[in-house]
Amino acid sequence: MPPAVLKGIRVWPRTLRARLFIILLAGLAIAHAMSFAVLFSERYVAARSVMFNTLENDVATSIAILDRLPAAERAGWLDQLARGSYRFVLGPGIPGTPVLKPDDAEVASKIRGAIGAKYPIKVESIPGAGRRLQAHLRLSDGEPLTIDVTPRGVMPVADWLPYVLLAQLSLLVLCSWLAMRQAIRPLANLARAADTLDPNRNTPRLSEAGPTEVAYAATAFNAMRDRIAQYLEERVQILAAISHDLQTPITRMKLRAEMAEDSADKDKLIQDLGEVERLVKEGVAYARSAHGKEEKASRIDLASFIESIAYDYQDIGKAVTLGDLADGAIVTRPQALKRILTNLIDNALKFAGNADIEVQRRDDAVVIKVLDRGPGIPESQLEAVLKPFFRLEHSRSRDTGGTGLGLAIAQQLATAIGATLTLRNREGGGLAAEIALLQ
C-alpha cells in the first residue's frame, strides 16, 4: 500500500516496525475501547434498571405509608422514605412544564404505573440545571404531596479509574513494542547480514537460533553465503591455474623469438610477449591475494616496517619520502601488508613520480597513508578503480595504462587482513590512499 501523503507531509511511517506497531496498537486500543464501551453501556443499563425498580417497588409503598399516617406525623417520615434519586415533599412543589423529554416521559410512566389510578398524578419538568421532575398528587385527606425526582444516568466514576485506564494503555504500548521488536529483529538481522555479505571477510555467521521460521531463513542465508564463497573460490582457482599454465608456453615463445633473426617484427613480438607475461603474472598475483588470510599474523614494529620499505625504494632512486610515523607495534600479516603498500607506492610513482608515507593512530585503528601530488582520480571513479582490470588510461599500451590489477590486489589483500582501503582526492591536487587497520 503506498504511503499516504497529506499536504506534502508523509503521515504513514516508512519502516515495517513502525507500521506493524501502529496497526497492532490501534487494533488492541480499539478492542479495549469497545470493551470499555460495552461495560459502560451495561453499567448505564443496570443503573436505569435499579432506578426504575426502586421507583416501581418503593414509591407505591411510601405513598401508602404516608397516606395512612396522621397528618402531624408525616413530616417525620419524609427523610426515612427518601432515596438517592427521589424524595417526598409535603406541599404543591415547584411549578414546571408538562412537556417532557423521551427519557423523562419514561420515568413519568414508571411512576404512574407504580401508583396506579387511586391517586391522580401530574408529572412536570422543572426548569434549571440538570434533569429534575416533580410528580404532584393528593393524599386521601386532600393534603398535596410532591415526589421530587432527579434521574441519574449512570453511577459516578471512581477517582482511580482514569489511572487504571492509563496503566492499561501503557501496558498495551509496551506489549505491542515488545511484540514488534521480537517479530522484526530477525528480519533486521537478515537485512544487516545481507548488506555486509562478503565471502572474503571472516564475518560471523547469522545466528540460526530462534523460532522455526527464523532458524530456517538463517540456515538458508548461511548456506547461500557458503555457496557464493565456494563459487568465488573456484573462479579464483581457475584464474590462478590458467595464468600459471600460460607462463611455460609464453617463456618458450620468448626464447624462440629471441633466437630468430633481428627485425622490427621480432622486437614487436618480444615486446608483446613481455606484456602478456606481465599480465599473466599479475593474474597469478591477484588470485593469490585472495588467500592473504592464510598467512599467519605476527607482531611488527610498524614504523620500522614502513621505513624499510621506503629505504628499499630510495636505494633504487625512487622519490619515496616519510612523513610523521606513529610509534608502536601492531599484529597483522606482514607480507600481505607489504604487498598492499608496494602496490600503492608503485601506483603513486607511476602517475605522480613521488610518494609520501604517513602513519597516524586513532582510537580504534592505525591509519597508513600513501600520498602523492599526481592528477588524482575523478570522484565518480574512486570506487571503480579498485575493481579488477579497470584502467583510467584507456590506451592499448600497458606501459601507460598498466594491467588494471594493482589497486584490485591491494583492495583484496586489505580485505583479507581485516583492513579497509579508501581512496580520496587531496586538496590542492593528488591522491591519498588510506589503509585503516583495526586494533
Mean pLDDT of the chain: 79
301, pLDDT greater than 50: yes
DSSP string covering 251-282: HHHHHHHHHSPP-HHHHHHHHHHHHHHHHHHH
Can you give the pLDDT at residue 1? 46
Please choose, from the candidates 150, 139, 149, the residue with its C-alpha nearest in 3D space to the C-alpha of residue 63.
Answer: 139
> Residues near 352 by Cβ (< 8 Å), separated by ≥ 6?
372, 373, 374, 375, 430, 431
Can you give the pLDDT at residue 345? 92
Please choose, from the candidates 315, 307, 317, the residue with its C-alpha nearest in 3D space to the C-alpha of residue 341.
Answer: 307
Exposure on the CB side of residue 203, measured as CA atoms within 13 A:
18
Can you give the pLDDT at residue 59? 81
Q: Grid coordinates representing 67?
A: 397516606
| Model confidence pLDDT, tens digit, residues 23-47 | 888 888 888 888 888 877 777 777 7
Question: pLDDT over 90 for what percent of the chain?
Answer: 10
Using the CB atoms, write b or e for 36-65: b if 16+ within 10 Å. eeeeeeeeeeebbeebbebbeeebbebbee
Please choose, from the candidates 62, 69, 47, the residue with its C-alpha nearest in 3D space to the C-alpha of residue 148.
Answer: 62
Residues 298 and 223 in one domain: no
Can you give the pLDDT at residue 46? 74
* Residue found under cell 599480465: 279
Residues 281 and 304 in one domain: no
Can you give the pLDDT at residue 25? 82
Last residue of a domain, one of 225, 260, 290: 290
Last residue of a domain, one of 274, 290, 306: 290
Q: Does residue 394 lie in a domain region?
A: yes
Q: Does residue 12 lie in a domain region?
A: no
Q: Does residue 331 lie in a domain region?
A: yes
Which range among 54-68, 149-163, 210-224, 231-245 shows the weakest confidence by mean pLDDT? 149-163
Q: Does residue 46 lie in a domain region?
A: yes
Residues 28 and 128 in one domain: yes
Q: Contact, 433 vs 344, CB < 8 A?
A: yes
Can you give the pLDDT at residue 321? 92
Please choose, from the candidates 141, 83, 78, the residue with its C-alpha nearest in 3D space to the C-alpha of residue 111.
Answer: 83
Please choose, from the candidates 291, 331, 332, the residue with its C-alpha nearest in 3D space to the C-alpha of residue 416.
Answer: 291
| Model confidence pLDDT, tens digit, residues 389-435 | 676 654 334 454 556 677 888 888 888 888 889 999 988 889 999 99
Which range among 123-127, 200-204, 386-390 shows the weakest confidence by mean pLDDT? 200-204
Q: What pLDDT band is residue 85 in, cutting at 50, 70 and 90?
A: confident
Residues 125 and 232 in one domain: no
Can you give the pLDDT at residue 402? 57
175, pLDDT greater than 70: yes
Q: Grid coordinates representing 218?
A: 538463517
Can you give the pLDDT at residue 320? 92
Residues 408 and 422 in one domain: yes
Can you give the pLDDT at residue 8? 45
DSSP string covering 300-364: EEHHHHHHHHHHHHHHTT--EEEEEE---EEEE-HHHHHHHHHHHHHHHHHHHS-EEEEEEE-SS
* Residue found under cell 389510578: 117
Which range among 18-27, 180-189, 360-369, 395-404 shows the weakest confidence by mean pLDDT? 395-404
Residues 132 and 216 in one domain: no
Please indicate whether residue 220 or residue 115 has the higher confidence score (pLDDT): 220
Across 205-215, average pLDDT: 76
Q: Contact, 431 vs 423, CB < 8 A?
A: yes
Can you give the pLDDT at residue 255? 81
Can you give the pLDDT at residue 291? 54
Distance of CA 228 to the CA centre of its chain: 27
Residues 59 and 84 in one domain: yes
Please indicate whether residue 397 or residue 183 has the higher confidence score (pLDDT): 183
Q: Grid coordinates representing 200?
A: 572474503
Residues 342 and 220 in one domain: no
CA distance 374 to 371: 9
Across 99-108, average pLDDT: 78
pTM check: above 0.75: no
Residues of the domain holding 32: 21-149
Residues 281 and 382 in one domain: no
CATH of the domain at 231: 1.10.287
Highest mean pLDDT among 161-170, 322-331, 402-411: 322-331
CATH of the domain at 418: 3.30.565.10
Please choose, from the candidates 253, 255, 279, 265, the residue with its C-alpha nearest in 3D space to the C-alpha of residue 397.
Answer: 279
Residues 302 and 265 in one domain: no
158, pLDDT greater than 80: no
Across 322-329, average pLDDT: 85
Task: Give how many domains the chain has, as a whole number.
Answer: 3
Q: Contact, 401 vs 393, CB < 8 A?
A: yes
Q: Does residue 7 lie in a domain region?
A: no
- 264-289 and 406-416 helices cross at what angle (nearest 10)? 20
Q: Does residue 16 lie in a domain region?
A: no
Element holding 349 (H helix, E strand): helix 334-352
CATH of the domain at 88: 3.30.450
- 60-68 and 102-115 helices cross at what angle (nearest 10)? 50
| Model confidence pLDDT, tens digit, residues 331-352 | 888 888 888 899 899 989 988 8
Q: 428: left (phi > 0), else alpha (psi -120 to 50), else beta?
A: left
Residues 303 and 220 in one domain: no
Q: Does residue 9 lie in a domain region?
A: no
Can you give the pLDDT at residue 135? 84
Q: Does residue 159 lie in a domain region?
A: no
Can you give the pLDDT at residue 433? 92
3-state SS class at 175: helix
Please choose, from the candidates 390, 352, 385, the residue with its C-alpha nearest in 3D space to the C-alpha of residue 371.
Answer: 352
Q: Contact, 121 vs 83, CB < 8 A?
A: no
Last residue of a domain, one of 229, 261, 290: 290
Q: Contact, 293 vs 287, CB < 8 A?
A: no
Q: What pLDDT band is residue 358 in, cutting at 50, 70 and 90?
A: very high
| Model confidence pLDDT, tens digit, residues 188-202 | 777 777 777 766 566
Residues 315 and 285 in one domain: no
Please choose, from the candidates 234, 216, 237, the residue with its C-alpha nearest in 3D space to the C-alpha of residue 226.
Answer: 234
